[in-house]
Structure 1
Amino acid sequence: MKIYIKYDINVACRTILQEQLEKLGIHFDMNESGEIQVLEVISLEDNIQLQANLKRYGIDILSDQKSQLIQRIKNVIMDMIGREKLPASKISLYLAEKMNMNYSYISTLFSEYTHSSIENYIILQKIEKAKKLLLQELSLTEISYILNYSSVAHLSGQFKKTTGLSPSVFKKIIDGRKRKIYTT
């Protein structure tokens, strides 16, 4: 028998982090974008144990500042995309404000370390969200509004360019898989 699951990776990671920190008795605060502020000095032994516990789940503690900054940028973008409606302001202004940094610095650093632009990363995240929204039976018009696309055609074009499928073909494939699962 097969079991099919649906999960939210952000919720899963937050839960794992929270459980592991609490297990070691480490006092912390976690903000919306997943950043953790440890409220006390962690012993070397606890630090090693925490890293080992998290490694089992594929989670690494970032030690260098640039890697931390890249992850913060990604977290802010994923938080932004995860909202019910994307902010109406320009994304560059939004990121600069949220990060409290100059956008050109953020953009250059991101491209240097990820070999991709922030804009491309945002498009990939928006298309992933569009896939989820399609599965929730939202129309392309509703999805393009939620994701701040200028038109349905623009969303459809980016969707096809990114996935190789039009949104309607993607939906048909998923619906076909669902029917197959429920009839077997």
Structure 2
Amino acid sequence: MKLYIKNMVCGRCELAIITELKKMKFTVISIVLGEVEIANNLDESQIKTLSKNLKIIGFELLDDKQNRTVERIKSLIIDIIHYKKELLKSNLSNYLTSDLGQDYSTLSKLFSKNEGLTIEHYFIAQKIELVKELLINNDMTLGQIAIQLNYSSTAHLSNQFKKTTGITPTQFKKLKVLIVKNDL
């Protein structure tokens, strides 16, 4: 049986889901962001219990196809940005169309309707979140980050960062230093 789960964004999320399923004595066959296949068939009572348990830890069981498609789009984007950076050089719309087997304009309209922003804006926001993470936890220069995330230039990354966050990457790094000093 396949389960579709909202808010899975990383390996830690996968571990949390596996732990919850094992507590309920379900056998996990496979897991990827947003999807879990289990060996068990669940009755209505088990589904309600699982749904309640997942909500407690910040996840949501998805039951309709549109929500599953939107979550799959989000999972694919997160996967590209964090784990399959070589795909950053490919065309996002072609990749999503190929993986989901649906026309991009249909996917785009569905995503915008459900999320209140475009697929492109979500993609950019996720890239900028990774940029922030790299600026905080890494000694990479902005130029190195721009190359890693397939930006055409450091200036393009810097402009997109400022447009998204309201501050420049340099200002963000200074904020990080202030936060670290105040925590000590």
* TM-score normalised by structure 2 residue count: 0.87
> Is residue 125 from structure 1 mapped to residue 135 from structure 2 by the alignment?
no
Aligned to 1:144: 146
Equivalent position amino acid for 1:147 in 2: L
SS in 1 for 2:61: coil
CA distance in 2, matches of 1:56, 1:31: 20
Equivalent position amino acid for 1:164 in 2: G
Q: Is the 8 A contact 1:134 1:171 kept in 2?
A: yes
Q: Is the 8 A contact 2:34 2:71 kept in 1?
A: no
Aligned to 1:92: 93
CA distance in 1, matches of 2:167, 2:104: 32
| 1:9 positional shift | 5.8
| 1:161 positional shift | 0.6
After superposition, the C-alpha distances for 1:85-122 in whole angstroms (9 at most, x for unaligned) are: 24111111122222232222211211122121100000
Indicate how the Cα distance of structure 1 residues 67 and 9 shifts in structure 2: closer, same or farther if over 3 A, else same.
closer
SS in 2 for 1:61: strand
Q: Is the 8 A contact 1:34 1:75 kept in 2?
A: yes
> Is residue 174 from structure 1 mapped to residue 176 from structure 2 by the alignment?
yes
Alignment of 1:77-88 (within 5 A): 77-83=77-83, 85-87=85-87, 88=89
Equivalent position amino acid for 2:154 in 1: V
Equivalent position amino acid for 1:162 in 2: T
CA distance in 2, matches of 1:29, 1:99: 21
Q: Is the 8 A contact 2:97 2:103 kept in 1?
A: yes
Equivalent position amino acid for 1:138 in 2: M
| 1:28 positional shift | 2.6
Indicate how the Cα distance of structure 1 residues 54 and 33 shifts in structure 2: closer, same or farther if over 3 A, else same.
closer
After superposition, the C-alpha distances for 1:32-66 in whole angstroms (9 at most, x for unaligned) are: 33411233311223222211211211211011110
CA distance in 2, matches of 1:35, 1:9: 11
Q: Is the 8 A contact 2:9 2:75 kept in 1?
A: no
Aligned to 2:47: 47
Aligned to 1:66: 66
Aligned to 2:112: 111
Q: Which 4+ runs in 1 deviate beyond 6 A?
A: none
Equivalent position amino acid for 2:112 in 1: S
Identical pairs, percent: 35
CA distance in 2, matches of 1:160, 1:86: 25
Q: Is the 8 A contact 1:32 1:79 kept in 2?
A: no
More strand by share: 2
CA distance in 1, matches of 2:44, 2:84: 41
Match 1:157 to one of 145, 159, 166: 159
Equivalent position amino acid for 1:119 in 2: E
CA distance in 2, matches of 1:35, 1:163: 31
